[in-house]
Amino acid sequence: MKVTTPAPTRWPVITKDPAHLAVIPNLVDYDRTYATFRWADEQRTLAGLADGRVNIAHEAVDRHARGDRAGRDALRFVRADGSVRAVSFAQLADETDRFASVLRRLGVQRGERVFSLLGRAPALYTTALGTLKHGAVFCPLFSAFGPEPVCQRLELGSGSVLVTTRSLYLKRVADERGRLHALRHVLLVDADGAPEPDTLDFAALIAEAPPYGRIAAMDAEDMALLHFTSGTTGRPKGAVHVHGAVTAHSATGRYALDLHPDDIYWCTADPGWVTGTSYGIIAPLVHGVTTVVDEEEMEPERWYGILAEQHVTVWYTAPTALRMLMKAGADRAREHDLSSLRFVASVGEPLNPEVVVWGLEAFGLPVHDNWWQTETGGIMISNYAAMDIRPGSMGRPLPGIQAAIVARDQTGSPVVRGGAAELVTDPDVVGELALEPGWPSMFRGYLDEDERYRRCFVGGWYLTGDLARRDADGWYWFVGRGDDVIKSAGHLIGPFEVESCLLEHEAVAEAGVIGVPDDVAGEVVKAFIELKPGYEASDALQRELIGFARKRLGTAVAPRRLEFVAALPKTRSGKILRRLLKARELGLPEGDTSTLEAGR
Ligand code: ATP
Ligand code: MG
């Protein structure tokens, strides 16, 4: 099969202007750091507990609360009206101690699962870190989930405690409580002294809690977090993570996000997803930086206001959010004083080169893409602060991470010879992105799905399910999810390449690309387009967009068909659901849509 690699980017490399970097980046010399990095050395930068024991919450909270950062803001919650509630490291230590104490009083044992179903309010952070302090397992649920996804996950994860609000409990859980056999305690954060039947008052329990005493000393391999994947490809999987993962949260916070002690940092991801926990709670707190939390939903004016008023220095967001800001125009950004901002990073989906470069226009800074997944627990491949950017590339592997491209056969299966996976050595040839197992935040299993877990490891490598290529200099380029890649007339086409090209057209706000069956070519490319405000769907515009893509990508790769839509279907974490576009196109069952954003 002839393999069409993504066209070499038409975008010039963005070289870093040292003047843009207010402080010396943590990763000045990539090659040297990569060559000399050892996880054991990284582990020694953490405080640790006696006898080699560890607890994520100790690294994130207690050691700062006992040191010179006690009075510093750990979290700053920006409420709907713009007012701010700040919580210092010392206060966070106290609150989380109390919650750990509540769990002990309720008879919750180590390893039991404590679920949260909460918006981004203080109780969510208290629950997460207090649960870890007690040695129980924290499992966050996204607050916008409907009853079925909530109960399905509570059931799959055998949740014994749920912390939520009165209305979420009544709307999502109360009617299904009978089927949740493991669920012993429901704590309502807004019970106001009058709990619902069979629930407890979170605030009252916290207020009465006795001192916790010593934090649970955990083995590095003890389970700490249970994270369900986004469900982009189907039924969500429960990925198991351990306390030892904190070593990776620390390293990636330093190298990929370039966190420095005085940073004001904002991660826009909801802790209902792995990004919002690994990088919205753990990594920044481990580094003792101040984390901004927006309690509301995304809206350009509000977001620029927060960046400016909170003097955010490091911002971690997602392509879907950036595309929405782009839609509103770069002028909106320039109306605000964003001079504190020195580093912008993105994750969750491929970041179109157009968006990377738009960052220069809007913030005076390029956007740094990085790649990882729920299973990897932390960032694996990244564009770094001091490194030049090749727009459209995910960057280079993090120090301590061995990445490779595994060859695939005609059927798309990895090629294994003599027990070893065959690695692609030629630059720019597409294969499956793989990682050498052994980094601290690697998932230790899919909950109750051992066989599925085992199938992820082939010939000494963890297979990510994503297709990518590596250029001659070691930069990685995302091609598509294995399932989303289109096979047309002997070509292998990554939807990302086609979507990025369409996004370069001034009328296009978002693009989702799939393959649809074709008698002659096997599959042909079809694009679904969301237009920017001020543009009308028409046959002329349809022809123009197809012509635009043909000129840039050639007829083999450009979409043959194109349809305008009001909104693309997305997961709640903001990922385009191509499998749903395809199912709808072909009139097939929609499959698991539990993570589909409402109204899509
Ligand atoms: P599921 O596994 O349930 O189908 P999911 O893979 O979307 O859902 P996540 O673990 O949240 O769940 O997402 C990780 C995936 O998101 C990656 O495997 C990759 O496909 C995509 N992704 C994340 N970051 C990037 C990036 N920077 N560039 C391209 N793709 C990315
Ligand atoms: Mg996945």
Q: Each residue of 130-189: pLDDT tens digit?
A: 999 999 999 999 998 888 889 989 999 999 999 999 999 999 999 999 999 999 999 999
Q: At what angle do helices 300-309 and 319-328 cross, to 10 degrees?
A: 100
- Claim to verify: residue 281 and residue 381 sit in the same structural domain: yes
Per-chain residues with Cβ under 5 A from ion ligand 2? 229
Q: Which residue has the tokens 């996000």?
A: 257
Kindly report the pTM of this predicted structure. 0.93
- Of the ranges 41-55, 207-221, 549-563, which one carries the lowest mean pLDDT score? 549-563
Nearest CA to ligand 1 atom 15: 373
- Claim to verify: residue 286 and residue 423 sit in the same structural domain: no
Q: Evaluate whether residue 309 is within a structural domain.
A: yes
pLDDT value of position 109: 98
Query: For a substitution probing ligand 1, which of 226, 346, 349, 373 has the most ligand atoms within 8 Å of its CB?
Result: 373
Ligand 1 center from residue 347 Cα (angstroms): 9
365 pLDDT tier (thresholds 50, 70, 90): very high
9 pLDDT tier (thresholds 50, 70, 90): low
With contact defined as beta carbons under 8 Å apart, do 131 and 96 qualify? no
Specify the ligand 1 atom closest to the Cα of 374: 10
Ligand closest to 235 (CA) is: 1
Q: Residue 18 above 80 pLDDT? A: no
Specify the ligand 1 atom closest to the Cα of 239: 10
- Claim to verify: residue 397 and residue 408 sit in the same structural domain: no
Q: Evaluate whether residue 441 is within a structural domain.
A: no
Ligand closest to 228 (CA) is: 1
Nearest-5° angle of CA 341, CA 342, CA 347? Answer: 90
Q: Evaluate whether residue 541 is within a structural domain.
A: yes
CATH, residue 293: 3.40.50.12780
Nearest CA to ligand 1 atom 29: 350
| Ligand 1, pocket residues at CB < 6 Å | 229-233, 236, 347-351, 369-371, 373-374, 394, 464-466, 478, 481, 573, 575
Q: Residue 4 above 50 pLDDT? A: no
Q: Evaluate whether residue 274 is within a structural domain.
A: yes
Ligand 2 center from residue 520 Cα (angstroms): 31
pLDDT value of position 187: 98
What is the percent of the chain with per-residue pLDDT over 90, rounded to a whole number? 83
Mean pLDDT on 320-331: 93
pLDDT value of position 599: 60
Which DSSP string do the residues of 264-329 spell out, in sequence order? Answer: EEEE-S-TTSHHHHIIIIIHHHHTT-EEEEE-S---HHHHHHHHHHTT--EEEE-HHHHHHHHHH-
pLDDT value of position 600: 67
Collect all residues with Cβ–Cβ distance below 8 Å to 36 and sequence separation of at least 6.
Answer: none
pLDDT value of position 537: 96
Number of alpha carbons in the 13 Å side-chain half-sphere of residue 352 = 26
- Claim to verify: residue 422 and residue 317 sit in the same structural domain: no
Q: Evaluate whether residue 314 is within a structural domain.
A: yes
pLDDT value of position 552: 86
Ligand closest to 497 (CA) is: 1
Q: Residue 5 above 60 pLDDT? A: no
Ligand 1 center from residue 375 Cα (angstroms): 10
CATH, residue 531: 3.30.300.30
Nearest CA to ligand 1 atom 5: 230
- Claim to verify: residue 119 and residue 206 sit in the same structural domain: yes
Q: Evaluate whether residue 190 is within a structural domain.
A: yes
Mean pLDDT on 289-309: 96
CATH, residue 408: 2.30.38.10
Ligand 1 center from residue 483 Cα (angstroms): 12
- Claim to verify: residue 491 and residue 547 sit in the same structural domain: yes
- Claim to verify: residue 277 and residue 303 sit in the same structural domain: yes
Nearest CA to ligand 1 atom 16: 348
Bridge-based pairing state of the strands 393-397 and 381-382:
antiparallel
Ligand 2 center from residue 569 Cα (angstroms): 17
Mean pLDDT on 269-295: 97
Ligand 2 center from residue 412 Cα (angstroms): 17
What is the percent of the chain with per-residue pLDDT over 70, rounded to a whole number? 97
- What average pLDDT is seen over the chain? 93
Ligand 1 center from residue 371 Cα (angstroms): 8
Q: Evaluate whether residue 80 is within a structural domain.
A: no
Mean pLDDT on 467-481: 94
pLDDT tens, position by position, 123-135: 999 999 999 999 9
- Claim to verify: residue 411 and residue 389 sit in the same structural domain: no
pLDDT value of position 20: 64
Ligand closest to 239 (CA) is: 1
Ligand 2 center from residue 274 Cα (angstroms): 12
Nearest CA to ligand 1 atom 11: 230
Number of alpha carbons in the 13 Å side-chain half-sphere of residue 422 = 13
Ligand 2 center from residue 236 Cα (angstroms): 9
Taking the C-alpha atoms of residue 136 and residue 138, their distance in angstroms, rounded to an integer, is 7
Q: Which residue has the higher pLDDT, 520 or 59?
A: 59
- Claim to verify: residue 390 and residue 256 sit in the same structural domain: yes
- Claim to verify: residue 113 and residue 33 sit in the same structural domain: no
- Claim to verify: residue 541 and residue 554 sit in the same structural domain: yes
- Residue ranges making up the domain that contains 207: 55-61+86-216
Mean pLDDT on 371-379: 97
Structural domains in the chain (count): 4
